[in-house]
A = this chain, B = another copy of it.
Amino acid sequence: MPQAKYFELSDARREGFFNISEAAEASGVSAKMIRHYEEIGLVPKAGRTVAGYRIYRDADVHVLRFIRRSRDLGFTMKEIAGLLGLWQDKRRASADVKRLAAKHMADLDARIAELQGMRRTLEHLVHCCHGDGRPDCPILDDLAGAARA
């Protein structure tokens, strides 16, 4: 991100800078989240106009796009910080990237399995339920632990 080159916004635009909503549009990351990511240090502090407006270069937008894609794949902010570090390190080993991605994949697998377990139980209960005006209900019986009696 530009360090501290102060411009009027129109000057900045002429030099190829974007303001925050343009960066948000171009990257898919909301303006709110761009500010948040700057605050938590995920991205460097943006340059500013004399009015205090944030200004961004193509490269900055590219970083935001990286974050967007990473978020869409479910990586946590912490993991994304690690990925950004690797991306920007020309001496990185792809093994480190692979390890991080594989761990994330394992986490996803665990969560999927958990949700599928819930789904299976619910499918069974919903199937057993008449779903009419009567009060007897196997779903509630299960929740109340009657099935265990």
Residues of A within 8 A of B (CB): 62, 65-66, 69-70, 72-74, 83, 86-87, 89-95, 97-99, 101-102, 104-105, 108-109, 111-112, 115-116, 118-119, 121-123, 125-126, 129-137, 139-140, 142-145
The reply to whether A135 and B92 form a contact with Cβ atoms under 8 Å apart is: yes
Q: Which residues of B contact A90 (CB under 8 A)?
A: 135
The reply to whether A83 and B129 form a contact with Cβ atoms under 8 Å apart is: no
In the docked arrangement, what's the CA distance between A125 and B101, Å?
Answer: 9
Number of copies: 2
Q: Output the nearest chain B residue to A138 by Cβ-Cβ distance.
A: B94
The reply to whether A112 and B116 form a contact with Cβ atoms under 8 Å apart is: yes
A118 touching B129 in the complex, CB below 8 Å, given contacts A97-B140, A101-B139, A142-B69: no
**Residue A130 contacts which of B94, B116, B145 (CB distance < 8 angstroms)?**
B94
The reply to whether B105 and A123 form a contact with Cβ atoms under 8 Å apart is: yes
Q: Which residues of B contact A105 (CB under 8 A)?
A: 119, 122-123, 126
In the docked arrangement, what's the CA distance between A130 and B95, Å?
Answer: 7
Q: Which residues of B contact A89 (CB under 8 A)?
A: 135
Closest 4 CB pairs of A and B: A98-B131, A94-B137, A93-B133, A98-B129
